[in-house]
Amino acid sequence: MYSTKNHLKILLTIVLWFSLITSAFSQPVEIAKNESQRKEESAKPISTSENRINPKTKGDAQKAGYDISLVETKKQVTAQAEKPPTKNGETTKEIIAIISVLVAILAFSISILSWRVATKALNLQVLLNMGMEYRSPQMLYAIDKLWQLYKDHPTDFVKKYLEIRDEGQRCLASMDEEMKFENYRYTLHNQRRLISHFYQCLANLYVKKIFPKDILYRIWTEAELRIIPEILIPIEKKLQENLNEPPLKSFEENLLILYKDSKGR
């Protein structure tokens, strides 16, 4: 949640700076625009009765009784209107282009930042859900059952686990389907699978750097993760041997990484 707040602060800072930059650039744009409008208005022909006839020479204008100053003014205004765009017009286009680029960069930055904020929030929510699952009575019961087996048979707990599993399967085979399902959840084999799959999921997400290390190890300490090398991995190895399947290296490696990184925290 702390990272999410930081990202929101960064987003607001970007928006604030963009507003200041836009405000700074908008002033020269407005000035240039007003100057351009003023010149366009000044370039319009003078709508007076004296300008309805365009004398070719000053002498013709004097003979016709026109004011020479009005004729000269009209010529100057017409020449001014026919000039190419001024430097102010080019500056205005450059400023608009710069602002367009800034808007595009800002939109791209906001989209990337929003995606990161949403992703981190989702990851933290998943981590929170897994923490709640870890604290459930079902998980506590399963962990206690395995540690009790380990304490009762510290040297041959794997062999004892296989004996208990086989005995449980024989008992379940004599039950109907409804009773079998109700009793299967309390078997030691199911308790071990529940814990093993939980830590396997946690290890995979950690190795992929989806979960932040500092938060994860505040929930799961070294003492809580010690069940991985002490109980889970030895049983998993023996089960793979009995099935004549190759060892799952990624499974073991990820679990060990999760445990080893918890040391010294």
pLDDT for 78-126, tens place per residue? 555 555 555 555 677 777 778 777 777 877 777 787 777 777 777 788 8
Residues 6 or more apart whose Cβ sits within 8 Å of residue 226: 259
Distances (CA, A) of 113 to 6, 8, 63, 120: 11, 9, 77, 11
pLDDT band at 67 (very low <50, low <70, confident <90, very high): very low
Average pLDDT over residues 70-77: 52
Cβ neighbours around 54 below 10 Å, total: 12
pLDDT for 248-263, tens place per residue? 677 789 999 999 999 8
pLDDT for 180-202, tens place per residue? 888 888 899 999 999 999 999 99
pLDDT band at 215 (very low <50, low <70, confident <90, very high): confident
pLDDT, residue 244, reads 74
Q: Lowest mean pLDDT: which of 64-73, 87-96, 168-177?
A: 64-73
Question: Cα(221)–Cα(212) distance, rounded to whole angstroms?
Answer: 14
Average pLDDT over residues 45-65: 47
- The more confident residue out of 49 and 174 is 174
Its pTM stands at 0.61
Question: Cα(168)–Cα(184) distance, rounded to whole angstroms?
Answer: 8
**In whole angstroms, what separates CA 3 from the centre of its chain?**
11
Q: Quick check: 47 pLDDT over 50?
A: no
Q: What integer best gives the mean pLDDT of the chain?
A: 75
Cβ neighbours around 149 below 10 Å, total: 20
Q: Lowest mean pLDDT: which of 2-6, 202-206, 249-253?
A: 2-6
Q: Give the tokens for residue 129.
A: 């859900």
pLDDT, residue 1, reads 42
Of 248, 244, 199, 249, which Cα lies nearest the Cα of 225? 199
pLDDT, residue 192, reads 94
Q: Quick check: 30 pLDDT over 70?
A: no
- The more confident residue out of 101 and 25 is 101
Read off φ and ψ for residue 45, nearest 5 degrees: -60, 145
pLDDT band at 51 (very low <50, low <70, confident <90, very high): very low
Q: Give the tokens for residue 189.
A: 């084999």
pLDDT band at 48 (very low <50, low <70, confident <90, very high): very low
pLDDT for 115-172, tens place per residue? 777 777 777 888 888 989 999 999 999 999 999 999 999 999 999 999 999 999 898 8
